[in-house]
């Protein structure tokens, strides 16, 4: 099984993450941030990944450090689970609608971290969650996983719908990129013959 497991401990947070890329959509996530847990459930369910995340952070200050460190640890676990990336599709894209919202995600498991993000979230919060943290979550995940990620909002007025459509589209694009390409027969999907984070 392609599994990554990471423990990240700082003065601000303690985070434990495991991800199984060949799972069935199980999510056991407790970050202390209810809306983030809801989005992680979308990632597991629509990506068919098994994700287990336990985090304790300085939520008495705000959600920033926990949101960031969960994403950093998840990206590192993803990097570990991917290994040498032999035989995978590498590229993935998906457009996910949620009522009036439509978000398109394209990604490349290239080993090169880059985020393009053009979400226009109309409110500052969804529940207690600061919507600025959405971009920060994906930037942190990109930084440690070595992923190129483009997120494009095509429509949407409701903040919850826009964010949830983003996580669903990301989940399906990542699922596509991490799945095996039978025609590739175990070779590395690069003309260079290597895909690495370095």
Per-domain residue ranges for the chain? 3-178
| Model pLDDT for residues 140-189, shown as the tens digit of each residue | 999 999 999 999 999 999 999 999 999 999 999 999 999 999 988 877 77
Residue 189's pLDDT is: 74
pTM of the predicted model as reported, rounded to 2 decimal places: 0.96
The band of 131, judged by pLDDT with boundaries at 50, 70 and 90, is very high
| Model pLDDT for residues 8-28, shown as the tens digit of each residue | 999 999 999 999 999 999 999
Q: How many helices (H) and strands (E) does the chain have?
A: 4, 10
Residue 198's pLDDT is: 53
Residue 91's pLDDT is: 97
Contact 129, 59 (CB under 8 A): no
pLDDT, averaged across the chain: 95
Q: What are residue 96's DSSP bridge partners? A: 103
Residue 139, CB-side half-sphere exposure with 13 Å CA sphere: 10
**Angle formed by the axes of helices 34-47 and 159-178, to 10°?**
40
Residue 1's pLDDT is: 85
Residue 197's pLDDT is: 56
Q: Is 27 helix (H, G, I), strand (E, B) or coil?
A: strand
Q: Are strands 50-57 and 13-20 parallel, antiparallel or unpaired?
A: antiparallel
- 36 CB neighbour count, 10 Å cutoff: 23
Q: What is the CATH number of domain 3-178?
A: 3.30.230.40
Q: What is the DSSP string of 76-140?
A: HHHHHHHTT-TTB--EEEEEEEETTEEEEEEEE-SS--EEEE-----SSEETTEETHHHHHHHHH
pLDDT > 90 in the chain, percent: 90
């Amino acid at each position: 099984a392609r599994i990554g497991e990471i423990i990240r401990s700082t003065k601000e947070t303690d985070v434990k993450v495991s991800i199984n890329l060949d799972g069935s959509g199980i999510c056991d996530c407790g970050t202390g941030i209810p809306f983030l847990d809801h989005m992680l459930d979308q990632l597991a369910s629509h990506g068919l990944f098994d994700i287990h995340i336990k985090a304790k952070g300085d939520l008495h200050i705000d959600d920033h450090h926990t949101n960031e460190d969960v994403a950093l640890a998840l990206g590192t676990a993803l990097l570990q689970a991917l290994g040498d990336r032999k035989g995978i599709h590498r590229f993935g894209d998906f457009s996910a609608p949620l009522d009036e919202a439509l978000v398109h995600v394209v990604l490349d498991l290239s080993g090169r971290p880059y985020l393009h993000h053009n979400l226009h979230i109309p409110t500052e919060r969804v529940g207690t969650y600061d919507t600025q943290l959405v971009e920060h979550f994906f930037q942190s995940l990109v930084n440690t996983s070595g992923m190129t990620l483009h997120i494009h909002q095509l429509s949407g007025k409701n903040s919850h719908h826009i964010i949830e459509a983003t996580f669903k589209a990301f989940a399906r694009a990542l699922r596509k990129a991490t799945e095996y390409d039978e025609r590739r027969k175990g070779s590395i999907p690069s003309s260079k013959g290597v895909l690495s984070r370095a």
